[in-house]
Amino acid sequence: MHTFEYVRATDTREVVQLLADDPAAACLAGGTTQLDLMKDGVLEPPTLIDITRLPLHGIERRGEILHVGALVTMEELAADATVAERLPMVRESLLQGASVQLRNMATIGGNLLQRTRCRYFRDPTVSACNKRTPDSGCAAVEGVARMHAVLGASERCIALHASDLAVALVALDAAVHVQGPSHSRTVPLTEFYLTAAESPQRENVLEHAELITEVEIPLPPAAARSGYLKVRDRTSYEFALTSAAVLLVVDHATIRQARVGLGGVGTKPWRAYEAEHVLTGAPATTATFLDAADATMRDAWTVPGTAFKVPLARRTLVRELQNVSGVDV
């Protein structure tokens, strides 16, 4: 690993000023993404600002909104009583991610900003990677692409956004609070991420000198049921091949409200609006669920290595809609 300066910060404004003063500096939270990429030589920031001492560790329910500090760990959020009671799909997305050891280190802010697992991005000896080096090509399109994306993908980049939590949060209309040197703003997660087709190099709308300080999660209606289904090559310590976060309010066998997020398939955490449109107001039946899954995967862009994901994602969504609704299981 290259040498770098280590700075431990205790004040949020100090961090954003340090970032503003140094366009190449980077933040260190749990380090489970950042340090891996530095060890692999993909990232070489001259300065690493340790933000773990910032006062961003709280979880607080205010009315029907859960406010989660950016430095809350994955394990802490999964153990929260409100999450257990009102947000099962958030809890399940967290507990099916990584390992207990990693979840005790990894923060919520870091999880939302984790970089792709594309093996070509993570190997600086591979020259063709538009995400690392603009206009250099994409080695994955003709390479090993089993863990890559089919939605929001193009020949320029098919890198997957691998966060499980983000899939549940986009479905719930969660938002991030962002602090900059002289401003703060709130960005809905559905507007936070960019697709690889839009911009391989830039994954979200966060500016360099901005810090995520908090995630705001609206609590769903008490009548809602939700869940997260993750399909992977082994049952623990593995990223999703496909996943589905589903929230439904069903009344007298009619779907009154539907929220759907898909993982393992998108270059960003995928909000499946087309599925929601088909589901809302329709009878809660497997026929409806199949129509919703078809609508969602209609625009998939595949390469030989990712083609299997279209039918798999379809089946994953139908199964989770069945699980959550209790229909035809």
Q: Least distance (Å) from ligand FAD to the CB of residue 158?
A: 19
Q: What is the DSSP string of 233-293?
A: SSSSS---SEEEEEEEEEETTEEEEEEEEEESSBSSPEE-HHHHHHHTTSB-SHHHHHHHH
Q: Which range touches ligand FAD (CB under 6 A), out of 111-119, 188-196, 287-295, 302-310?
A: 111-119
Overall size of the chain counted in residues: 329
CA–CA separation, 199 and 60 (whole Å): 35
Taking CB under 6 A as the criterion, which residues in 202-261 touch ligand FAD?
211-212, 239
Nearer to ligand SF4, 132 or 271 (CB): 132
Q: Determine, following the binding rule CB under 6 A, whether residue 116 of this chain makes contact with ligand SF4.
A: yes
Phi, psi (degrees; rounded to nearest 5) at 185? -155, 160
Q: Which stretch binds ligand FAD (CB under 6 A): 30-38, 186-194, 277-285, 320-328?
A: 30-38
Site for ligand FAD contains 116 (CB under 6 A): no
Q: Which stretch binds ligand FAD (CB under 6 A): 81-89, 98-106, 191-199, 290-298?
A: 98-106
Q: Closer to ligand FAD at the Cβ: 92 or 164? A: 164
**234 Cβ neighbours under 8 A, 6+ residues apart:** none
User: What's the chain's Rg over C-alpha atoms?
Assistant: 20
Does residue 131 interact with ligand SF4 by CB under 6 A? yes
For ligand FAD, the binding residue among 16, 38, 70, 118 (CB under 6 A) is: 70
* Pair of tokens at residue 128: 């063709």
**Strand, coil or helix: 229:** strand
Q: What is the side-by-side strand order in the sheet with 225-231?
A: 225-231, 242-251, 254-263, 270-271
Q: Which residues bind ligand SF4 (CB under 6 A)?
A: 116, 118, 120-121, 129-131, 138-140, 157-159, 200
Q: Which residues bind ligand FAD (CB under 6 A)?
A: 26-34, 36, 70, 97-98, 102, 105-107, 109-111, 113-114, 162-165, 211-212, 239
